Chain A
Amino acid sequence: MNVMKVLRKKVRDNMYAWGLLVALIVFWEAAVKLMDLPKYFLPAPTAIAQKIAANIPLLAFNTWVTLYEVLLGFALGMLIGIPLAILIVYVPVLEKSVYSILVSANAIPKVALAPILVVWLGFGLAPKLVVAFLICFFPIVVNTVIGMKSITPEMIKLAKILGATSQQQFFKFRLPKALPSIFGGLKIGVTLAVVGAIVGEYVAAEKGLGYVQMIFAGNLDTAMVFSVLVILSVMSVVLFNVVAFIETLVVKGNTEEVSECDTAQ
């Protein structure tokens, strides 16, 4: 019953957005037909849909390749980023050294590293994985550090007067307080990982959705390029929502501050 309620609310909240989207697609279709635009310039939505339907095996295979790179890069970003952030919060020297450098290094456009990574790591999985990792690593670290530091002096006093061990302080106070912020970082990170993997494929690859796009763009098969774009968008949205769904399972209550910020902005 609760699930139905949530779903119905979701549909109701997003009704206007969906309506607008459908309207835009209809307009796009009509515009292409009426203006008789060449297919290599702008394919109609129906043409894109047909293209996808006709190339399912090819697209499925390459989707899997890209998804694999994204997931590995993202997993690496989490496995290295979160523990590193925790270390940074607990070891002041690391905050002054590693964290300051990290924050400045965040200004480097990570995608511009892709050509160098290809030189170093070759044409295989490695450079894509590393770009995906690098690009999602920063928001994960920064948000985890912010979350871990968001514990208030009053909460620390409460922990101390209850006699909490440092382990309990971590698991019962710091970590749960940090979770909303950590998930904020993960949601940004997972969509950025998609960007990273594709850029890696643009630079040098023999498979993957980025590679497919480059090949078909060269052949002026614009419908195919759009098909890949659609798939990539769906991939990003789905990954984001998976993380958001896990967040709703893990993060309890605690929404008061978050929603206050939302409405204030």
Chain B
Amino acid sequence: MEISAKGLSCEAQNVCKIYTTKQGSTMALSEDSLYVQAGEFVSIVGPSGCGKTTLLNIMCGLLPASDGTVLIDGKAIHGPYTDIGYVFQQDVLLGWRTVFENVILPIEIKKLRPVEEYHQRAKDLLEMVGLKGFEHKYPGELSGGMRQRVSICRALLCSPPLLFMDEPFGALDALTREQMNIDLLDIWSKNQNTVLFVTHSIDEAVILSDRVIIMSNRPGKIIKDIKIDLPRPRTLHMKGSDRFVEYVTEIRDIFNEYGVLRDEKNQGKV
């Protein structure tokens, strides 16, 4: 088993997305460009419905862009790019498979060998996310947060060079979430893969990322790209540091400026 090919770069050039339904068409993304370096950890934050999931789907080829190009490792892609781990916003576990069987689904589909090593890795990953002993349960018997952790293990199984995560920790309690943040950083530093991470939590984005991308309300537009200059390896203690607080405040202010967040002055009017 090849542990970790190094990360690949991933780039969207002027992508647009217009969804057309019977009710009419929705402009979900307008002219967005984003370059993610090989091995970089980039977070995307933005209000609900601004097109974060859409952007992720376009950047891995799951969704065709209405306009623009996507390049992975410098080459344009025209269909789903399969050498990727994708943690979907909903956990998308298969109800007829046990937790363990769900985690090893990728190697079954891709026919990867040797099976035993991947099985061992699946067990290790499950243990890491605190699901040891649940291997033979069915997803229907798990809580939402547990299911989400299973889907994270599935995405990590093949140590993919690209890792897309769409609000992966949304269903977790604050403590488990912080632990998962640490574990994710650990895996990332070992694998040196490229991570594109969507979150609603500004704190989480800052503590994890090299860069935080801020998107505006629909139609989704990248309005700021902030480099996070905190030292690596990151620890949770940094959340108390002045630099961290400055970054978080800066991002809040940007949302404020674009009318996504409203502070006290405006609240009285509602």
A13 within 8 A of B: no
CB–CB B92/A254 < 8 A: no
Could you say which residues of chain B place their CB within 8 Å of the CB of A253?
A: 95-98, 138-140
A251 within 8 A of B: yes
Could you say which residues of chain A place their CB within 8 Å of the CB of B139?
A: 253, 256
Could you say which residues of chain A place their CB within 8 Å of the CB of B169?
A: none
Among residues of A, the one whose C-beta sits closest to the C-beta of B106 is A162
Could you say which residues of chain A place their CB within 8 Å of the CB of B90?
A: 154
CB–CB A254/B62 < 8 A: no
CB–CB A154/B82 < 8 A: no
- Most B CB contacts (10 A, CB to CB) among A161, A162, A172, A252 go to A161
CB contact under 8 A between A155 and B84, given known A168-B109, A253-B140, A256-B140? no
A179 to B94 Cα, complex, angstroms: 13
Proximity string of chain A (222-265) to chain B, C-beta cutoff 8 Å, 1 when within and 0 when not: 00000000000000000000000000000111111100000000
CB–CB A161/B86 < 8 A: yes
Q: How far is the CB of B17 from chain A (nearest CB, A)?
A: 15
CB–CB A172/B95 < 8 A: no
A91 to B60 Cα, complex, angstroms: 28
Looking at chain A's contact residues, is the secondary structure mostly helix, strand, loop, or mixed?
A: helix
Could you say which residues of chain A place their CB within 8 Å of the CB of B94?
A: 155, 172-173, 176-177
Q: Which of B69-115 contact A (CB under 8 A)?
A: 80-82, 84, 86, 88, 90, 92, 94-98, 105-106, 108-110
Proximity string of chain A (137-171) to chain B, C-beta cutoff 8 Å, 1 when within and 0 when not: 00000000000000010110111111110001000
Contact of A163 among B57, B96, B109 (CB under 8 A): B109
Could you say which residues of chain A place their CB within 8 Å of the CB of B60?
A: 161
Contact of B110 among A158, A163, A179, A251 (CB under 8 A): A163
CB–CB B96/A251 < 8 A: yes
Could you say which residues of chain A place their CB within 8 Å of the CB of B96?
A: 176-177, 179, 251-254
Could you say which residues of chain A place their CB within 8 Å of the CB of B138?
A: 252-254, 256
A220 to B57 Cα, complex, angstroms: 74
Could you say which residues of chain A place their CB within 8 Å of the CB of B92?
A: 152, 154-155, 157-158
CB–CB A160/B88 < 8 A: no
A164 to B79 Cα, complex, angstroms: 13
Could you say which residues of chain B place their CB within 8 Å of the CB of A155?
A: 92, 94
Could you say which residues of chain B place their CB within 8 Å of the CB of A172?
A: 94, 105, 108-109
A167 to B57 Cα, complex, angstroms: 23
Q: How far is the CB of B198 from chain A (nearest CB, A)?
A: 15
Could you say which residues of chain B place their CB within 8 Å of the CB of A251?
A: 96
A161 to B63 Cα, complex, angstroms: 11
A176 to B97 Cα, complex, angstroms: 9
CB–CB A162/B82 < 8 A: yes
Could you say which residues of chain B place their CB within 8 Å of the CB of A162?
A: 82, 105-106, 109-110
Could you say which residues of chain A place their CB within 8 Å of the CB of B97?
A: 252-253
Among residues of A, the one whose C-beta sits closest to the C-beta of B138 is A253
CB–CB A254/B140 < 8 A: yes
Among residues of A, the one whose C-beta sits closest to the C-beta of B164 is A161
Among residues of B, the one whose C-beta sits closest to the C-beta of A164 is B109
Could you say which residues of chain B place their CB within 8 Å of the CB of A154?
A: 88, 90, 92
A255 to B139 Cα, complex, angstroms: 10
Proximity string of chain A (171-183) to chain B, C-beta cutoff 8 Å, 1 when within and 0 when not: 0110011010000
A207 to B100 Cα, complex, angstroms: 54
Residues of A within 8 A of B (CB): 152, 154-155, 157-164, 168, 172-173, 176-177, 179, 251-257
Q: Which 9 A-B residue pairings sit nearest by Cβ, starting from the closest?
A: A256-B140, A253-B138, A163-B82, A254-B95, A254-B96, A252-B96, A162-B109, A160-B80, A154-B92
Listed by A's residue number, 11 A-B pairs whose Cβ atoms lie within 8 Å are A157-B92, A161-B82, A161-B84, A163-B82, A163-B109, A164-B109, A172-B108, A177-B96, A252-B97, A254-B96, A256-B139
Residues of B within 8 A of A (CB): 57, 60, 62, 80-82, 84, 86, 88, 90, 92, 94-98, 105-106, 108-110, 138-140
